[in-house]
Structure 1
Amino acid sequence: MTLDTVKHASATPDVELPWKELGLKEDEYAKVREILGRRPTGAELAMYSVMWSEHCSYKSSKVHLKQFGDKVPANDAMLVGIGENAGVVDVGQGYAVTFKVESHNHPSYVEPYQGAATGVGGIVRDIIAMGARPVAVVDPLRMGAADHPDTRRVLPGVVAGIGGYGNSLGLPNIGGELVFDACYQGNPLVNAGAIGVMRHEDIHLAKASGPGNKVILYGARTGGDGIGGASILASETFDDTKPSKRPAVQVGDPFQEKLLIECTLEAFAEKLVVGIQDLGAAGLSCATSELASNGSGGMRVELDDVPLRDSTLSPEEILMSESQERMCAVVEPDKVERFLAICEKWDVIATVVGEVTDGDRLEIFWHGEKIVDVDPRTVAHDGPVYNRPFARPSWQDALQADDANKLPRPTTPEQLREQVLALLSSPNQASKAWVTDQYDRFVQGNTVLAQPEDAGMIRVNEETGLGVAIATDGNGRFTKLDPYTGAQLALAESYRNVAASGAKPLAISDCLNFGSPEDPDVMWQFAEAIRGLADGCLQLGTPVTGGNVSLYNQTGDAAIHPTPVVAVLGVIDDVARRTPIAFKEEGQLLYLLGDTHEEFGGSAWSQVVHDHLGGLPPKVDLERERLLGEILISASRDGMIDAAHDLSDGGLVQAVTESCLRGGNGARLVVPDGLDAFTFLFSESAGRAVVSVPRSEELRFTDMCGARGLPATRVGVVDGEEIEVQGEFGIPLSEVAEAHRGTIPALFG
């Protein structure tokens, strides 16, 4: 094979290269030639193609994403923001927490088990790279129709992959969601999040500084799996007629990753590392170019020294490979021996593959010839920036005019009862225990709350009880109806879930899942969702620490519902003061916090009973969300409430059912004056929660709500062995449990 060296490339400008097959557009390839002043070598072309992909460069989204930095100021808790492997926030007592959510959507459709497993592995390495010990993972999922044969292929594999990898790492899975909708049939969303804990002084960044410092590649050997995988595949509409768009999905080894975690943390503890970067999407292309461009700018790499699983790999393939469980560290020369000794102790392969130079070029050599000579910033940071055209879709007005509030409603208590059971047994509202029971939620012994609680919660400090909570939420149906409001509703629900657990929301990460950016309708949805999320974060004081954009979630002309998933991280001073969802004590009073309106656009009721999507989503009042959060946190801290559950999908009847089943007690509900039973049970108005209040605390609690202007309506009592709506119907808990718990096992068991 004749290698395209830099010297040869300069001398042969007319040689044709497969830029189109690697996902570059004609003008992008022309830009690469302009930057280099010549045609690229094959290795350079490989690097630019993966690093300029949508997945890695955010070329269609960065003009909108800048609102997160421009519009939303950092709060006092923010230590590291957008641009690093993961955001970091101060949670007090000298501790910092890093967290992030990312997507592994397309690989998980091609090969569900490995796609999902390596999604977990990748997000965990982002956490390690910040200097933190991973302590928990979460998994927001969106699947096609629950009864579709292909969903039965994808979901069990995805769940097994998440559980198999996370459980093997010894990381509790404490949160997430599972939503079914036909719009995700060919494009399931597998988002993965992780949380890590460290001391403030242990934060590490991805930069290669200090000429003469050594670049060490350590972890698994580099193989042919995942070559161009996440980056190339996520850059195009999925089309199985194009072999180039069906790369091998990465293959994960959680036991190798566990060794990598311990090896890395020991090296951090001994202060051996100057800069570090995990190898995820774009592999070595990403790690070398980002480390170099974030540091002094110069790096020399000997590609021959990269440990390989397959000796036949070309240099282009080595640079593009997305083999898992690999990291790249920059280490001072006098510390290299100790770093390598730690790697050997943990049975982790480690090799010096290069060094930092005093120049401003990234130079890569293969068999003695220079095959890459680039300014690393042009690869890692100066990719294309597109102002994609966008416009409000021509169908948006008609969709919103198709008002769900006008759908036929139950007219008798019997119909109301039937529709309650239909809702509770529908795939989206039914118990997800079939999924979550496959995950270890309590390994390490620090899990305080986990599914099906409103938020996952982890204890950070055993002596003081300091803890953190996380919730992920997003409603694609709401966002389809109104992207601006839908994104704010996702933020509000996650914020509310964290506050309901007793934790104070601090910051967010996001995973923005949309269709093709080349479709003006989709780009309008994206632009509106970003605007809504940025405005919402500004109002709530929750800065964006980082996140992920996943585009081209589309088959042909059919895009998924726009699905911004928002993760909110919160802190609680003492996890002993946490608030669970379970109604455990008979005789406690049930209070509904917030205002209930006739808001059924995009609701679970409209979907389950009428298979309808239309109208407007619930209104958002972020000041009310903030006030509700403050009340929930104060009531939790001061012992005024024993349980709290936010109201969202399915409304009050869904929340009460989950709390009753969790605690093993029934509830007697009374429809408040001014509401009809249907609206009381099924409305999805935002800014609401149901709480159980000990009788001894009722006056103190209602006085606090009244003094702060939050509506608090007594709607029932924890009592008996059924869910009863007085004057309407009653359903024995045994019947409710059978309806709620039987659906998912029947579909997938």
Structure 2
Amino acid sequence: MSLAPSDRALVVEELGREPTDVEEALFENLWSEHCAYRSSRPLLSAFDSAGEQVVVGPGDDAAVVALPTTDDEGTPDGYSDEWYVTLGVESHNHPSYVDPFDGAATGVGGIVRDTLSMGAYPVALADSLYFGPFEREHSQYLMDGVVEGIGHYGNCIGVPTVTGSVSFHEDYVGNPLVNVACVGLLHDDRLVTAVAEEPGDKLVLVGNATGRDGLGGASFASEDLAEDAETEDRPAVQVGDPYAEKRLIECNEDLVDEDLVRSARDLGAAGLGGASSELVAKGGLGADIALERVHQREPNMHPLEILLAESQERMCYEVRPGDVDRVRELAERYHLGCSVIGEVTDGNYTCTFTGDDGETETVVDVSAEYLADGAPMNDLDHVDPEPQERDLPDVALDEAFEAVVGAPSTASKSWVYRQYDHEVGTRTAIGPGGDAALLAVREADTGLAFSSGAEPNWTSANPYEGARAVALENATNVAATGARPLAAVDCLNGGNPEKPEVYGGFRGIVDGLAEMCADLSVPVVGGNVSLYNDSATGPIPPTPTLAMVGTKAGYDAPSSSFTGEGTLLVVGDGVLSGDVNAGLGGSEFLAQFGGTDAFPTLPEDPAGVVSHLADVANDDATLAVHDASHGGLAVTLAEMVTADAGATVTLDGDASAAALLFHEQAGRAVVETTDPDAVRAAFDGVAPVVAVGESDDSGTLSLTANGESLAYDVDRIRELRSVIERELA
């Protein structure tokens, strides 16, 4: 590890002296891109994070949002001052390439501890995963390890993984992405923040012992992956212990219940140095820390190792002096280590180390605020991507249907989510496999919808419009359950920002995501940025994972499969209705067969589409609702077929049969209803509604597009969609 010369000069000027070796390493990690957001922070002001529902916005370990309340007639009338949910998202991209199992597992552990530090209990996880082409053996190796790591850690700690996404793209070959989001639940009297409160309070470290694993992880995450990363960078990957995390979860519950925690920070990037300095900096305070007091699992640890190791399952608490003994008692009850490592002060952030010889050395003496927030921002050049020109392939419709429905990115992900316990905790009303999960928050008589994901094909074709579509698709997923979007967090993944064309694409996804979320009145209350996702094979696509929650009264939702008893309508499809030009840009159809095209035009009133879709989903006449996006209507209709229910569908329009079936305009849904006139009335003046057929009990999809007919029974559709399971089971 080494501090950049320009940064070192700033540190020397601030300190008025040469930094110690430990100070230099501490600045190098806390001023890294991973911790300081030096290339992205100038862009993040585009996001609107305000709202009546927002209790704690960006900047803490997780955001806190109030649940809505309703009057006696069920009409929303404000937000609760009692029940809150927390939202957080984290990337563990580089570690998951080097060590798929531990890299992904510790990503889960980290985002769960972010939830704990707010005083919340974790109730659900979402994983959004991105790999190179599925047919590559190495992609399957990475996917197998990542899914196993997420499943093992989540299952052991008893937090259900209820939703997410999996995508495959050529540009993730050398750098997969592992983005994990967590939702927590808390009562208002349990809220904790990461803002230190009072000089004289003690800093107490609770959890596993500190070792040498994960040393320099923040710095490692802020540079491109080298060709030998899988061997050379393995020491930078943390090793998780989910059973210790489960004990930490329960211990944290008791600590918060007894009002023993004044502020808290989980130990993640930059380890103890990052957590403790950021904690006191947020309160405008300092700290005195004695590093030799940290409970350690390895002998002869250097102060730099103690300060920067990213060993897992550790929390730093601010505790009143009179409460320290009780904190220690609770830690011992749960067989967790506990060290009183120092105290909050109104001075500098200082760390001392007393060696075996009894000599005490001051290894850090700096301003906490300068350390945590003093990194200069980068002023980088950017080049906007070129627009796509139309160059479409000529493919037989049956060949195209089978290729798109059977593509790994659009195929069934049941192999993935069957490895997760998605019902533990007894809150899961709707689990993975549909548009969004639905959780029962019985304490507030509220259903909480949860959606997470992005689409690299979209943002490769058009970063700005693709990101707008990602936001709209997640909102549509939430609305398909009958819920209304409440808030979102983002995980913005990009390549090396020092490359103008890469930074241009990254700027595009920030602006697009921010604009659509503002249009939808969904505050983006927190998030994560992961840059330098480059490898020897090149940069990743700009990837704006969005995790969104919404709420509704009750925990019921329409099916996402045909029932066989209703009329089929497509709502919001501008191409099918002839209102906009067809655009196949970013589609799986082009990913399979080559070619380029403009990105499809999104609805003019996205908020209206989402709001009215939620209304329709809650109508008693609605039998099924399914978002139409990845793979187009072809994939949506195929997913809705069951052994007991099929459909006869006719698509007619000015566009080609391929465009009608495979374009991927976000903000659409297929609705099965017994009252089509009510659906038309709901969307009158908001979005087009087109009747496309009837469902039946055939178990077969009979499909005609501009006169070309196809028919597939449920067994053939399942065979097409089981490509991942066939290869990995």
120-129 or 594-603, larger mean C-alpha shift: 594-603
Structure 2 equivalent of residue 18 of structure 1: none
Find the aligned partners of 2:159 and 2:689 in 1 and give their Cα distance. 39
Tell me if structure 1 keeps the 8 A contact 2:583–2:597. no
2:206 maps to 1:226? no
With over 3 angstroms needed to count, the CA separation of the structure-2 counterparts of 1:364 and 1:541, relative to structure 1, is farther
2:20 maps to 1:29? no
2:680 maps to 1:702? yes
2:587 maps to 1:603? yes
Find the aligned partners of 2:228 and 2:15 in 1 and give their Cα distance. 33
With over 3 angstroms needed to count, the CA separation of the structure-2 counterparts of 1:316 and 1:596, relative to structure 1, is same
With over 3 angstroms needed to count, the CA separation of the structure-2 counterparts of 1:730 and 1:135, relative to structure 1, is same
Tell me if structure 1 keeps the 8 A contact 2:605–2:686. no
SS at match of 1:670: strand
2:46 maps to 1:67? yes
Tell me how far 1:685 sits from its aligned partner.
2.1
Tell me if structure 1 keeps the 8 A contact 2:132–2:169. yes
> Match for 2:97 among 109, 120, 123?
109
Structure 2 equivalent of residue 488 of structure 1: 468
526-535 or 155-164, larger mean C-alpha shift: 526-535
With over 3 angstroms needed to count, the CA separation of the structure-2 counterparts of 1:618 and 1:159, relative to structure 1, is same
What letter matches 1:709 in structure 2? Answer: V
With over 3 angstroms needed to count, the CA separation of the structure-2 counterparts of 1:356 and 1:168, relative to structure 1, is same
What letter matches 2:364 in structure 1? Answer: V
Find the aligned partners of 2:319 and 2:127 in 1 and give their Cα distance. 34
2:502 maps to 1:522? yes
Q: For 1:204-215, what aligned pairs fall within 5 Å after superposition?
A: 204-215=192-203
Tell me how far 1:170 sits from its aligned partner.
0.8
Structure 1 equivalent of residue 486 of structure 2: 506
SS at match of 2:45: helix
SS at match of 2:422: coil
Structure 1 equivalent of residue 672 of structure 2: 692
Structure 1 equivalent of residue 71 of structure 2: none
2:512 maps to 1:532? yes
Among the aligned pairs, what percent are the same residue? 38
> Match for 2:375 among 383, 404, 409?
383
Find the aligned partners of 1:261 and 1:162 in 2 and give their Cα distance. 17
Tell me if structure 1 keeps the 8 A contact 2:26–2:308. yes
Cα deviation, 1:328-375, whole Å, max 9, x if unaligned, reads 000001111111111111111111110112324434444422111010
Structure 1 equivalent of residue 635 of structure 2: 654
Find the aligned partners of 1:318 and 1:337 in 2 and give their Cα distance. 24
Tell me how far 1:711 sits from its aligned partner.
1.5
Tell me if structure 2 keeps the 8 A contact 1:144–1:184. yes
SS at match of 1:686: coil
Cα deviation, 1:488-529, whole Å, max 9, x if unaligned, reads 111111111111111110111111111101111111111222
2:226 maps to 1:239? yes
Q: For 1:88-237, what aligned pairs fall within 5 Å after superposition?
A: 88-92=64-68, 93=80, 94-229=82-217, 231-237=218-224
What letter matches 2:588 in structure 1? Answer: A
2:703 maps to 1:721? no
Q: For 1:293-308, what aligned pairs fall within 5 Å after superposition?
A: 293-308=281-296
Find the aligned partners of 1:654 and 1:557 in 2 and give their Cα distance. 30
Structure 2 equivalent of residue 79 of structure 1: 55
Find the aligned partners of 1:117 and 1:43 in 2 and give their Cα distance. 29
Structure 2 equivalent of residue 339 of structure 1: 327
Structure 2 equivalent of residue 38 of structure 1: 17
More helix by share: 1
Find the aligned partners of 1:208 and 1:366 in 2 and give their Cα distance. 26
Tell me how far 1:557 sits from its aligned partner.
6.9
> Match for 1:443 among 424, 429, 435?
424
Tell me if structure 1 keeps the 8 A contact 2:94–2:221. yes
Structure 2 equivalent of residue 6 of structure 1: none
Tell me how far 1:701 sits from its aligned partner.
2.8
Tell me if structure 1 keeps the 8 A contact 2:224–2:532. yes
SS at match of 2:145: helix
SS at match of 2:495: coil
Find the aligned partners of 1:686 and 1:251 in 2 and give their Cα distance. 39
Tell me how far 1:698 sits from its aligned partner.
3.0
Tell me how far 1:675 sits from its aligned partner.
5.3
Structure 2 equivalent of residue 642 of structure 1: 623
Structure 1 equivalent of residue 578 of structure 2: none
Tell me how far 1:451 sits from its aligned partner.
1.5
Tell me if structure 1 keeps the 8 A contact 2:95–2:237. yes
Tell me if structure 1 keeps the 8 A contact 2:478–2:550. yes
Structure 2 equivalent of residue 10 of structure 1: none
Cα deviation, 1:461-503, whole Å, max 9, x if unaligned, reads 16x6412111112122221222211111111111111111111
Q: For 1:339-738, what aligned pairs fall within 5 Å after superposition?
A: 339-367=327-355, 368-392=360-384, 396-397=386-387, 400-401=388-389, 403-404=390-391, 406-408=392-394, 410=395, 415-461=396-442, 465-556=445-536, 558-576=538-556, 578-584=557-563, 586-597=564-575, 598-608=582-592, 610-612=593-595, 614-621=596-603, 623-661=604-642, 664-672=644-652, 674=654, 676-694=656-674, 697-706=675-684, 708-719=685-696, 720-726=698-704, 728-738=709-719
Tell me if structure 1 keeps the 8 A contact 2:469–2:665. no
The Cα RMSD (Å) is 1.7
Tell me how far 1:138 sits from its aligned partner.
0.6
What letter matches 1:725 in structure 2? Answer: L
What letter matches 1:45 in structure 2? Answer: E
Structure 2 equivalent of residue 7 of structure 1: none
Find the aligned partners of 2:3 and 2:621 in 1 and give their Cα distance. 59
Tell me if structure 2 keeps the 8 A contact 1:473–1:491. no
Tell me how far 1:207 sits from its aligned partner.
2.0
Find the aligned partners of 1:27 and 1:626 in 2 and give their Cα distance. 46
5+ residue gaps, structure 1, are 1-21
Cα deviation, 1:14-47, whole Å, max 9, x if unaligned, reads xxxxxxxx14321112112112111111111121
Tell me how far 1:651 sits from its aligned partner.
0.6
What letter matches 1:717 in structure 2? Answer: E
Tell me if structure 2 keeps the 8 A contact 1:139–1:192. yes
Tell me if structure 1 keeps the 8 A contact 2:287–2:345. yes
SS at match of 2:489: strand
What is the number of equivalent residue pairs in this alignment? 702
What letter matches 1:519 in structure 2? Answer: K
Tell me if structure 2 keeps the 8 A contact 1:449–1:457. yes
Structure 2 equivalent of residue 9 of structure 1: none
Structure 2 equivalent of residue 11 of structure 1: none
Tell me if structure 2 keeps the 8 A contact 1:579–1:636. yes
320-329 or 347-356, larger mean C-alpha shift: 347-356
Find the aligned partners of 1:202 and 1:536 in 2 and give their Cα distance. 33
Find the aligned partners of 2:49 and 2:342 in 1 and give their Cα distance. 39
With over 3 angstroms needed to count, the CA separation of the structure-2 counterparts of 1:653 and 1:88, relative to structure 1, is same
SS at match of 1:311: coil
More strand by share: 2
482-491 or 267-276, larger mean C-alpha shift: 482-491
Tell me how far 1:217 sits from its aligned partner.
0.3
Find the aligned partners of 1:154 and 1:363 in 2 and give their Cα distance. 40
Tell me how far 1:150 sits from its aligned partner.
1.0
294-303 or 235-244, larger mean C-alpha shift: 235-244
Tell me if structure 2 keeps the 8 A contact 1:240–1:246. no
Cα deviation, 1:212-268, whole Å, max 9, x if unaligned, reads 111000000000111012x11111111145887553410001110000011011110
Tell me if structure 2 keeps the 8 A contact 1:209–1:295. yes
Tell me how far 1:611 sits from its aligned partner.
3.4
What letter matches 2:561 in structure 1? Answer: A
Tell me how far 1:734 sits from its aligned partner.
1.2
Find the aligned partners of 1:481 and 1:679 in 2 and give their Cα distance. 16
Q: State the TM-score, normalized to the length of structure 2.
A: 0.93
